[in-house]
Amino acid sequence: MIVHSDEISRDVSVPAEAAPAIEVRDLVKAFYDVSGDRITLAAANVNFTVKRGEFVCIVGPSGCGKTTVLRILAGLEQPFSGEFRLHTSAQPAMVFQEASVLPWLTVAQNVAFPLKLKGVAAKEQRARVAELLELTGLTDFADARPHQLSGGMKQRVSVARALVDDRDILLMDEPFGALDEQTRLVLQQELLRIWERTGKTVVFITHSVDEALTLADRVLVMSPRPGTIVADLPVPFERPRDVVEMRRDKRFWDLTYEVWRLLAVSPEH
């Protein structure tokens, strides 16, 4: 029997060092569709904690509820039961899995969007946006409209937008999924650099075990739908990590195997 509280509480306070930044307890999310009278249990009893400054990756089979959990953390979805706490002064920044570039804005305006809403001075906006366009390799396309971008370019715009206003918690839903390995590598390194420098807390959904092991302090593995956390694996490699070196380490393959084993336990087919 699982005990869960129906009250949902969200604390906004800056905690002491190494204190938890995100606490999720017994989270359950179910969708009910009236017209089809169907209930979809998207996440069941999800429990995990992310410490302040930690980089956590979530992996799990398609449709297991990863996006759902992230959306709940971002306050975009109400949990059905259970509770979660974010210890942060600002809302977490989110990189959405779906195309989320606003079609009526140019690339630069899209990136500047959170700054604009905050009322940041135009000059400051420009400088910050230029920085992020440079980072994501979109400088040439600053004035282009979203419909003129390739899939990977749109994804990079979303990443730039999430980074632009430098928030404490970063929620990233397969942010590099549509990028070639070269670009992905560059952005991974840039993300790690930013993370190390700023001490952000990052929750990062990925399908690539390689990517998880390259980036994360810990890897959370989810079961198939209804998703729950079936393993919480610390990644033992020192930072900075050398992608090529790491692959020569037996622990890399052991961990890879372990994740694969967990994911294969009860596959959807």
Partner 1 sequence: MSKPYTLSPEQIARLKSHSRREKLHRTISYFSPLLLLLLWEICSQTGLIDRRFFPAPSSIAGTAWQMTASLEIFDHIWATLRRVAVGYVLGAVPGILLGLILGLSAPIRRVLGPIFSALYPVPKIAILPLILLIFGVGDASKYVVIAIGVFFLMFYNTLGGVMQIPQIYLDVARNAGGSRFQTFRYIALPSAMPNIFTGLKLAAGSSYIIIAAAEFLGARSGVGFMIWASWQTFAVSRMFVGIVVISAMGYFTILLLEALERKFVPWAKH
Ligand X SMILES: Nc1ncnc2c1ncn2[C@@H]1O[C@H](COP(=O)(O)OP(=O)(O)OP(=O)(O)O)[C@@H](O)[C@H]1O
Q: Is 266 in the site for a second copy (CB under 8 A)?
A: no
Distance of CA 146 to the CA centre of its chain: 22
Q: Please pick, from the candidates 167, 184, 218, 241, the single residue that binds a second copy as defined by CB under 8 A.
A: 184
Q: Please pick, from the candidates 96, 195, 204, 252, the single residue that binds partner 1 as defined by CB under 8 A.
A: 96
In the complex with a second copy, the residue whose CB is nearer, 47 or 208, is 208
Is residue 97 a contact partner of residue 115, using CB atoms and an 8 Å limit?
no
Q: Is 208 in the site for ligand X (CB under 6 A)?
A: no
Mark 135-174 with x for binding to ligand X (rule: CB under 6 A) and - for no binding: ------------xxxxxxx---------------------
Q: Please pick, from the candidates 52, 66, 161, 200, the single residue that binds ligand X as defined by CB under 6 A.
A: 66
**CA 34/CA 15 separation, integer angstroms:** 42
CB atoms within 10 A of CB 114: 19
Which ranges constitute the DSSP H helices of the chain? 66-73, 107-118, 122-135, 151-164, 181-198, 209-215, 243-247, 250-264
Q: Please pick, from the candidates 61, 65, 146, 175, the single residue that binds partner 1 as defined by CB under 8 A.
A: 146
Tell me the closest approach of the beta carbon of residue 114 to partner 1, in angstroms: 4
Count the alpha carbons within 13 Å of 214 in the hemisphere toward its beta carbon. Answer: 22
Contacts of residue 163, defined as CB under 8 A and 6 or more positions apart, other chains included, come to 93, 132, 135, 170, 194
Q: Please pick, from the candidates 23, 49, 63, 116, the single residue that binds partner 1 as defined by CB under 8 A.
A: 116
Q: Is 80 in the site for partner 1 (CB under 8 A)?
A: yes
